[in-house]
Amino acid sequence: MRLIETTQELARICTRLRQHDYVGVDTEFIREQTYWPKLCLIQLAGPEDEALVDPLSPGISLEPFFHLMANERVVKVFHAARQDLEIIWNQAHLIPLPIFDTQVAAMVCGFGEAVSYVNLVKQVTRQDLDKTSRFTDWARRPLSAKQLAYALGDVIHLREIYRYLRAELEREGRAGWVDEEMATLTEPGTYEANPDEAWRRLKLRVKSRKSLGVLIELAAWRERSAQAHDVPRSRILRDDTLYDIANHAPTATSQLAELRTLSDGFARSARAKEIIEAVKRGLGRDPKSVPPLRTGVPLPAEKLALLDLLRVLLKACAARHKVAPRLIADGDDLERLAVEAAPDVPAMRGWRYDLFGIHAKELKEGKLALRVEGGEVALLQLPSEASRRARAAS
């Protein structure tokens, strides 16, 4: 398989691919030394065509590829699409539409939690993929025939997998379930690296809301610096250092020298002044703009018991409908269901509500019980209070 290295060649293959109703897409990239991912290879596979595109080829324009991604008559098929979509968004400020994520579809069709591409290929096509080139430096040229064959293998099987999963979804009446998930994946906000929201990815090891206000400003400063210099966040400041500064809230560069997570002499650097400015902004934040800290207080025993029951119910509902439990609800959703009267979580809306949410509501209201039948958890509808009274009166 030869690499496409010119805009003309790319335009020709994209013209052919636009004639079909779907195209498999994958990308290879590196980002160990940068903030923004560096696109190194694009793999494409239509029903009759296959192509490997070299984005690093001198003078090549990726416009034909981006035009293909923007063509709404062609379904773009990915596996675990998030990182591929992030790259396309960063490169062209474009979200491909429509898309089909085979990992999500496989979870809906009962293939388990976050099934890997290798396992999906094995289960659907009965073929084994050679993954020995998995850790290739995709920026190095030339790429060997083995590396190119590995890269092509990451996309050519998407064709059969897509056709199989699409047929399964139609047969089970679940195509709309996947469409709901694709709506989140195709939301531009999913890929916009907003520095003001950078603190949300942290574990929040801070002692007070004042420290959290400082952490929010520090995380935003670090994110902007990493973006501006195109380096990983840790190259600007490590997470543990962010927590250390946020908890101590130094207001002078000399105080930075007292922190064990900073190297000797850091207090005299240009970044030290920027950090102190961020700390002062955090200390000066309106307290109303700082979210409350999670107290860490354990749930009461009765809520823990309910949470355990909800976990069992989720697994039972997922098994009954052959859907991955994580796609229905995660741990935070279940905890909110146990604690809050009417939590606004995905499990209480749409198809998730029909499969699980309605039963979770009944369980909390005492209208549903769980029992074991034939070694499996079964749901038992309980009579209402009025029915029990009427039965007792008779």
The residue out of 190, 207, 236 marking a domain boundary is 190
pLDDT tens-digit map of 201-210: 898 788 889 9
Q: What is the pTM of this model?
A: 0.86
CA distances to 117, 149, 247, 359, 362 from 388, in Å: 52, 68, 57, 20, 16
Are the CB atoms for 366 and 382 separated by under 8 Å? yes
The enclosing domain of 382 has a CATH number of 1.10.150
pLDDT at 294: 67
E strand residue ranges, the chain: 3-4, 22-30, 38-45, 50-53, 75-78, 99-101, 368-373, 376-381
The pLDDT, as a whole number, for residue 186 is 93
For residues 237 and 108, state if they share a domain: no
Place of tokens 């990308």: 27
Write out the residue range of the structural domain in which residue 205 sits: 195-289
Closest residue by Cα to residue 370 from 361, 382, 386: 382
pLDDT digits (tens, 9 = 90+) for 150-201: 999 999 999 999 999 999 999 999 998 998 889 889 999 889 889 999 999 8
CATH number at residue 226: 1.10.150.80
CATH code for the domain of 119? 3.30.420.10
Domain membership of residue 295 (yes or no) is no
Give yes or no: residues 135 and 268 share one domain: no
Classify residue 129: in a domain, yes or no: yes
Q: Domain check: are 231 and 321 in the same one?
A: no
CA 115 to CA 24: how far, in whole Å? 18
Same domain, 114 and 142: yes
Domain C-terminal end among 141, 172, 190: 190
- CA–CA separation, 377 vs 394, rounded Å? 32
CB atoms within 10 A of CB 162: 22
On whether both 113 and 185 belong to a single domain, the answer is yes
Predicted pLDDT of residue 387:
54
The reply to whether 127 and 186 lie within a common domain is yes
Of 175, 190, 205, the last residue of a domain is 190
Q: Which residues in the chain show pLDDT less than 70?
A: 1, 294-297, 384-394
Q: What is the pLDDT of residues 293-319, one digit of tens each?
A: 765 567 889 999 999 999 999 999 999
Same domain, 148 and 214: no
Query: CA 236, 95, 76: angle at the middle one, nearest 5?
Result: 120
Count of domains forming the chain: 3
18: three-class secondary structure by DSSP:
coil
The predicted structure's pLDDT at residue 391: 56
> Are both 9 and 137 inside the same structural domain?
yes
> What local confidence, expressed as pLDDT, does residue 297 receive?
63
Pick from 365, 371, 358: which is nearest to 384 by CA? 365
On whether both 97 and 170 belong to a single domain, the answer is yes
296 found inside a domain: no
The Cα–Cα gap between 184 and 81 comes to: 11
